């Protein structure tokens, strides 16, 4: 019996080696021809290790492990069990948003990025991190100190480019350098879209994704579930995000692996968009992880067999997400309307509530690159990108969805900018950032009224470098020391001291609000109150939103236990690869 098992085992090994050799020869010719047609040179074979980062946007450590216990993400489970990879939680810092996290990871600097959207009193401009101009300005500022981790590498579907040589669907490179504007980028598009098998696969997946979305939506309606998308355009944008862009970025990463590019960073955004709409542990959000898992398997298998250099593979998230209930749905008014009413009915309010921002952002990526393709091909071929671009833009009112630009400070008394369960409140009558005493002098009852409002947990203000965090039960003053009056509201969190220090850092940013509000947090129900129309929220504090994850291979001996900011992840990459 043992002889039979040994012979069978040997036969299987030979069979697998033969299949690997055949596939290796096929893919070697395939990607060599792809690189040649694109005019992309192959990097000289090297023993120096490169790295590949695959980011799953918005997936917390807790929700990742929960998904695994439900049998999802089978390839990641295999990497942990078979390959000896390690899975670590890490604290992404406050605010737990993609711009703050990616700025920290890629450049080691996320100073004065106080949210996903905020207001700059000095310039009178709203800053929205889905605007290319805003991200260009941020990237120029944060890259002043040191270079990004992607020097000589590639960036796909990211907010910042990390000083990458090649970028695709990356907001920090948009309008500044468009991938498809070049001959190489145009060739990439044609090679991808004109492959009949790949195109057929994408069409089938797109149809399946659209039907899935409609079924999930109508199921939610029939069962009267409150968590569901409110816009008809969401289904179309979901196809763009979860199929079209996902397939393009996966193909691009594999081309780069074959070329031996030293650093590659790509982000899969589908989970985050669905978790906002349905909740982080909803069936639609968790199902999207299986598709990402399959692409990770595809990339990792290609790396193992085809890479001309050794690569370390990292799978991580930029932040987590906490289940949430929308403030407006619960209380019948937006936060801005509540603050306006507390001050007085004559107050002129500027407030923008943004829905489907991740999906709109991805449509913006696609529309921008399609515009470049259309400008660089001749009729009748130009009809294809033009028709797709017009269809994308027809379903998304870009101006309304992406923000409001300048605020007329002469005619605006109150500016409210919310990101998840975090909101910055600015008083337009005062041209500079106001101290807490100035706010209380001008609006004597406002702070007490806000603290007493059911949907609001914390009100934060500053005074001479000291930050005060106020709740119904008590207050915390954070300066050189931490002092508590009454009950410390931050005791609801795993590390009250860390939360206090990070709120102080946030409050002292030059562009933070005159007051900063955090929606209520219920640790028993693991629920926050979100100031946007979302059923899964991040940006504030409470729950899993601050806890990201990183999966790394056994040859990487990083310890993430003490990491409290995304900037510390940058230091780890620089020490190992530069």
Using CA atoms, how far apart are residues 349 and 341, in angstroms rounded to an integer?
10
Using CA atoms, how far apart are residues 528 and 523, in angstroms rounded to an integer?
9
β strands within 303-348, DSSP E: 311-316, 322-326
- The pLDDT score that the predictor gives to residue 52 is 98
Query: What's the whole-number mean pLDDT along residues 50-57?
Result: 98
pLDDT at 17 over 50: no
User: How much is the mean pLDDT over the chain?
Assistant: 84
β strands within 339-439, DSSP E: 349-351, 414-419, 422-427
What is the number of helices (H) and of strands (E) in the chain?
20, 21
Q: Choose the most confident range, by mean pLDDT, from 5-14, 116-125, 186-195, 316-325.
A: 316-325
Please report, rounded to a whole number, the percentage of residues in the chain having pLDDT higher than 90.
Answer: 58
From 75, 131, 200, select the one nearest 357 (Cα to Cα): 131
The residues that bridge with 547 in the sheet, in sequence order, are 91
From 254, 72, 45, 39, select the one nearest 154 (Cα to Cα): 254
pLDDT digits (tens, 9 = 90+) for 130-141: 888 889 999 999
Question: Using an 8 Å Cβ cutoff, are 279 and 543 in contact?
Answer: no
| Element at 267 (helix H, strand E) | strand 263-268
What residue segments make up the domains of the chain, in order of their start?
Answer: 39-109+145-321+357-400+542-577, 326-353+407-537
- The pLDDT score that the predictor gives to residue 5 is 47
User: HSE on the CB side for 304, CA within 13 Å?
Assistant: 12
Residues, the chain, total? 578
Confidence of residue 348 (pLDDT cuts 50, 70, 90): confident
Task: Spell out the residues 6+ positions from residue 372 whose beta carbon is closer than 8 angstroms to its own.
Answer: 178, 179, 180, 181, 185
Going 52 to 57 to 59 to 64, the CA torsion angle's sign is negative
Instruction: Kindly tell me the burial class for residue 360, based on how many C-beta atoms sit within 10 Å of its own C-beta (0-12, 13-18, 19 or more).
Output: buried
Q: Which string of DSSP letters, residue by residue, matches 444-459?
A: TTHHHHHHHSTTEEEE
Using CA atoms, how far apart are residues 208 and 227, in angstroms rounded to an integer?
22
Min mean pLDDT across 26-30, 123-127, 338-342 is at 26-30
Going 133 to 136 to 140 to 142, the CA torsion angle's sign is positive
Min mean pLDDT across 427-431, 470-474, 535-539, 572-576 is at 427-431
Q: Which string of DSSP letters, residue by residue, matches 467-501?
A: EEEE-SSEEEEESSSEEEEES-GGGGSS-HHHHHH
Confidence of residue 78 (pLDDT cuts 50, 70, 90): very high
**Could you tell me where the DSSP H helices lie in 130-239?**
132-142, 183-193, 196-222, 234-239
pLDDT digits (tens, 9 = 90+) for 477-526: 999 899 999 999 999 999 999 999 999 999 999 999 999 999 999 999 99
Q: Which string of DSSP letters, residue by residue, matches 514-561?
A: SEEEEE-EETTTTEEEESSS-SEE-SSSSGGGGEEEEEE-TT-----T
Domain 39-109+145-321+357-400+542-577 maps to which CATH number in 3.30.200, 3.30.230, 3.40.720, 3.40.1130? 3.40.720
DSSP state of 443: S
DSSP state of 85: -
- The pLDDT score that the predictor gives to residue 21 is 44
Confidence of residue 182 (pLDDT cuts 50, 70, 90): very low
Min mean pLDDT across 41-50, 171-180, 360-369, 560-569 is at 360-369
Confidence of residue 221 (pLDDT cuts 50, 70, 90): confident
> How, if at all, do strands 474-478 and 466-470 pair?
antiparallel
Confidence of residue 36 (pLDDT cuts 50, 70, 90): low
Min mean pLDDT across 271-275, 325-329, 426-430, 450-454 is at 426-430
pLDDT digits (tens, 9 = 90+) for 224-237: 666 656 555 667 77
| Phi, psi (deg, nearest 5) at residue 406 | -75, 150
- The pLDDT score that the predictor gives to residue 12 is 47
Using CA atoms, how far apart are residues 523 and 542, in angstroms rounded to an integer?
8
């Amino acid at each position: 019996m043992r002889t039979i098992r040994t012979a069978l085992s040997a036969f299987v090994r030979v069979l697998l080696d033969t299949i690997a050799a055949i596939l290796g020869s096929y893919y070697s010719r395939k990607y060599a021809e792809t690189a040649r047609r694109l005019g992309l040179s192959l990097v000289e074979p090297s023993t120096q290790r490169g790295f590949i980062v695959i980011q799953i946007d918005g997936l917390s450590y807790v929700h990742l492990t929960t998904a695994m216990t439900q049998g999802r993400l089978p390839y990641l489970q295999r990497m942990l069990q078979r390959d000896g990879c390690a899975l670590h939680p890490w604290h992404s810092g406050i605010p737990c948003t993609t711009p703050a996290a990616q700025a920290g990871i890629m450049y080691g600097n996320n100073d004065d990025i106080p949210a996903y959207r905020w207001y700059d009193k000095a310039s009178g401009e709203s800053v929205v991190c889905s605007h290319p101009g805003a991200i260009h300005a941020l990237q120029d500022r944060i890259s002043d100190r040191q270079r990004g981790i992607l020097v000589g590498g590639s960036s796909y579907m990211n907010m910042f480019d990390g000083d990458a040589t090649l970028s695709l669907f990356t907001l920090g490179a948009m309008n500044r350098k468009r991938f498809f504007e070049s001959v190489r980028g145009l060739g990439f598009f044609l090679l991808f879209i004109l492959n009949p098998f790949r195109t057929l696969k994408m069409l089938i997946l797109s149809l399946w994704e659209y039907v899935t979305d409609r079924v999930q939506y109508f199921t939610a309606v029939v069962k009267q579930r409150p968590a569901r998308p409110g816009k008809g355009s969401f289904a179309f944008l979901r196809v763009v995000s979860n199929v079209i862009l996902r397939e393009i970025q996966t193909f691009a990463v594999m081309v780069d692996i074959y070329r031996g590019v030293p650093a590659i960073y790509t982000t899969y955004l589908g989970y985050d968009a669905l978790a906002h709409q349905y909740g982080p542990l909803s069936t639609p959000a968790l199902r999207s992880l299986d598709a990402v898992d399959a692409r990770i398997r595809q990339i990792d298998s290609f790396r193992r067999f085809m890479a001309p250099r050794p690569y370390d593979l990292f799978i991580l998230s930029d932040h987590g997400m906490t289940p949430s209930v929308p403030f407006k749905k619960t209380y019948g008014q937006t936060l801005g309307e509540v603050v306006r009413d507390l001050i007085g009915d004559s107050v002129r309010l500027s407030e923008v509530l943004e829905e489907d921002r991740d999906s709109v952002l991805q449509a913006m990526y696609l529309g921008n690159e399609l515009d470049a393709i259309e400008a660089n091909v001749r009729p009748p071929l130009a009809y294809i990108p033009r028709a797709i671009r017009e269809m994308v833009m027809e379903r998304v009112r870009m101006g309304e969805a992406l923000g409001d630009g300048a605020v007329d400070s002469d005619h605006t008394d109150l500016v409210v900018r919310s990101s998840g369960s975090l909101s910055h409140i600015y008083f337009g009558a005062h041209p500079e950032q106001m101290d807490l005493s100035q706010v209380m002098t001008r609006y004597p009852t406002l702070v007490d009224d806000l603290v007493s409002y059911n949907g609001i947990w914390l009100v934060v203000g500053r005074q001479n470098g000291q930050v005060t965090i106020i709740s119904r039960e008590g207050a915390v003053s954070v300066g050189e020391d931490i002092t508590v009056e009454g009950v410390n509201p931050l005791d609801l969190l795993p590390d009250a001291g860390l939360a206090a220090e990070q709120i102080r850092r946030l409050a002292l940013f030059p562009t933070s609000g005159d007051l900063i509000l955090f929606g209520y947090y219920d640790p028993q129900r693991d629920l926050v109150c979100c100031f946007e129309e979302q059923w899964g929220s991040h940006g504030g504090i409470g729950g899993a939103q601050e806890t990201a994850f990183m999966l790394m291979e056994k040859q990487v001996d990083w310890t993430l236990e003490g990491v409290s900011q995304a900037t510390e992840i940058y230091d780890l990459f620089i020490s190992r690869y530069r």
